[in-house]
């Protein structure tokens, strides 16, 4: 699995054919801070909702600090997803390094 830093994701989003951003945080966390355009499926719902995702599409998994998202990214890889990355610094890194308008919590 690939690990992306916030600046790398920012660059990747401004290239052609951007990846799917999969936010696996809880509802209350997404209400506080989010990355525009991210698809929200809480971590505990991934197994029952995996068919809503495209296994061949580049997917970047996001959580608060990169730990939950890494677990989900591994799960996706184990279930046939071919191009999965983890945002290693999470939305916290995104807020601190890329978009200061995103609240830090």
Contact 5, 93 (CB under 8 A): yes
The whole-angstrom separation of Cα 63 and Cα 81 is 18
Which one of the listed residues 4, 21, 62, 63 is annotated catalytic?
A: 63
Residue 63 catalytic? Answer: yes
CA distances, 6 to each of 10, 25, 46, 96 (Å): 6, 17, 23, 9
| Residues classed as catalytic | 63
């Amino acid at each position: 699995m690939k690990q992306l830093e916030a600046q790398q994701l920012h660059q990747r989003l401004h290239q052609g054919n951007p990846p799917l951003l999969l936010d696996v945080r809880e509802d209350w966390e997404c209400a506080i801070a989010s990355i525009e355009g991210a698809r929200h499926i809480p971590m505990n719902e991934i197994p029952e909702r995996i068919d809503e995702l495209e296994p061949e599409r580049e997917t970047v998994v996001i959580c608060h600090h990169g730990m939950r998202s890494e677990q989900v990214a591994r799960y996706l890889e184990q279930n046939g997803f071919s191009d999965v990355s983890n945002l290693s610094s999470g939305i916290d890194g995104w807020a601190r390094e890329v978009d200061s308008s995103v609240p830090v919590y």
